[in-house]
Amino acid sequence: MKIFENKKLQEKYYLEILDNGLKVYLMPKNEFHKTYAIFSTKYGSRDIEFIPLGQKDYLKTPEGIAHFLEHKLFENEDGTDASNIFASLGADVNAFTTNYQTAYLFSTTSDVKENIELLLNFVQKPYFNKDGIERERGIIEQELLMYLDQPQNIQYYGILKALYKQNNIRNEIGGTVESIKEINEDLLYTCYNTFYHPSNMVLAIVGKFDKDEILKLIKENQSKKEFPKPTSIERKYHLEDETVNQKNSFIDMNVTSPKVSVGLKFPSEKNQPKDFLRKFTSLEILIDIYFDESSLYYEEMMNRNIINNSFEYALYYDLTYGHLLINVDSENPEIFIEKIKEIIDKIKHNDIEIKDFERFKKLYLSRAIRRFNSLEYIANSMVEADFDNLTIFDSIEVLEAITIDDVKEQRKYFNLESVATFTIFPRKEKNSQV
């Protein structure tokens, strides 16, 4: 068993890699009354092109199949729903699919062992049949049709499609009404057998439990199940440079005022895990210096009514893609777009003041330390860190070591040629004559 420890935080956790390849992370925190567990596979909406287990050629699967699979796993062969069994044990259960993972989780204050067994068993015992697939297809189709009427969803994927030409990040997590029609029993089993192998999965448990008892339970559970020999999974992501797909795009919808997105695309680059983390954190600090509510640029835009309380921004960065999204609801989209472009150009050419850097570095450190009071944050971070070949303490160690020069180095990515915009305009009513 491997131990990870941060003496400053007075926190430590354990890793046991089982014979079947499953990584089990445990952090007992007996001062809490609750236990939180997450069982996750490194398989998300972007993983639609891969070489299936036992095959030699790439297979392209329908968009949305990872999300479809997440829904279907809750249905047991006897017709029961795993959610109801968790509820009978007093646990809150949930699941989610992102572009890079599918996760199943629960939190409970009782029957921890029983809930862990249930989590492992329902995820590791798939059952798909034609009737169940058709029933689920109808449910998900209604979800997707509902999303088509949600401006925020259209705005998010609209700007991604403007930024990316081929990268799978541009695809909707749930797929499309057309793509889910292609999903069948064979494809679900192919994806399951490839990506739900224990060697591609992580189980993280944090909270009130006995470490040795829980590990023994997990080992016994896994020893009763048979899995193929672990193999690495070949995936195709269509990495891109910073060139955008479409500079300016727009649509009309039933909105009261225009919804504007400005996207800045970063090139896909190969980095070692800690170098990637340093780059991501440096970018976050640089972006906050210019766009945080405490910045002079934010204050100026508010005073000139260029932005309002709908203003938001977020950095999305991964080894396979990277972009900054800046959104607002505005009656003057052109003015907002020009101002954001002006700020992006300033970021590239202006210097950074040491006081701004130090203020945000201190803020980030205090925030990172406070997050260790959340069981959910710790367990989710264990999964994400593992997928990135990091530990949950690396983010703090990288933060402590970051310099103003690390932040300044990121200015080179703020190029106006890498900017795309997407705007939703209010739909104009057609005049009718009686």
For 141-162, the pLDDT digits (tens) are 999 999 999 999 999 999 999 9
Q: Of 5, 11, 63, 70, which is the active-site residue?
A: 70
Strands 312-317 and 419-426: unpaired
Beta strand spans in 303-384 (E): 312-317, 322-329
Residue 33 pLDDT: 95
Q: Are 314 and 324 in contact (CB under 8 A)?
A: yes
Structure tokens at 273: 């895990």
Q: CB atoms < 10 A from the CB of 269, how many?
A: 13
For 311-335, the pLDDT digits (tens) are 999 999 998 999 999 999 999 999 9
Domain 248-426 has CATH 3.30.830.10: yes
Closest CA to 155 of 281, 287, 314: 314
In the predicted structure, residue 258 carries a pLDDT above the cut 80: yes
C-alpha span between 315 and 321 (Å, rounded): 11
In the predicted structure, residue 432 carries a pLDDT above the cut 50: no
For 96-133, the pLDDT digits (tens) are 999 999 999 999 999 999 999 999 999 999 999 999 99
Is 75 an active-site residue?
Answer: no
2-223: CATH topology is Cytochrome Bc1 Complex; Chain A, domain 1 (3.30.830)
Q: At what angle do helices 296-303 and 273-291 cross, to 10 degrees?
A: 40
C-alpha span between 178 and 63 (Å, rounded): 9
Residue 82 pLDDT: 96
Q: Is the dihedral of CA 218, 51, 137, 101 positive or negative?
A: positive
For 337-351, the pLDDT digits (tens) are 999 999 999 999 999
Q: Are 425 and 251 in contact (CB under 8 A)?
A: yes
DSSP letter, residue 181: G
Strands 419-426 and 248-253: parallel
For 369-424, the pLDDT digits (tens) are 999 999 999 999 999 999 999 999 999 999 999 999 999 999 999 999 999 999 99
Q: What is the CA radius of gyration of the chain?
A: 23
Residue 217's SS3 state is helix
Closest CA to 105 of 374, 386, 372, 376: 376
Q: What is the pTM of this model?
A: 0.94
Considering the chain, tell me which residue range(s) the CATH 3.30.830.10 domain(s) occupy. 2-223, 248-426
Q: List the 419-426 sheet strands across, edge first.
A: 248-253, 419-426, 259-265, 322-329, 312-317
Q: Exposed e or buried b for every residue in 195-205, given b needs 16+ CB within 10 A?
A: bbbbbbbbbbb
Given pLDDT bands bounded at 50, 70 and 90, which one contains residue 271? confident
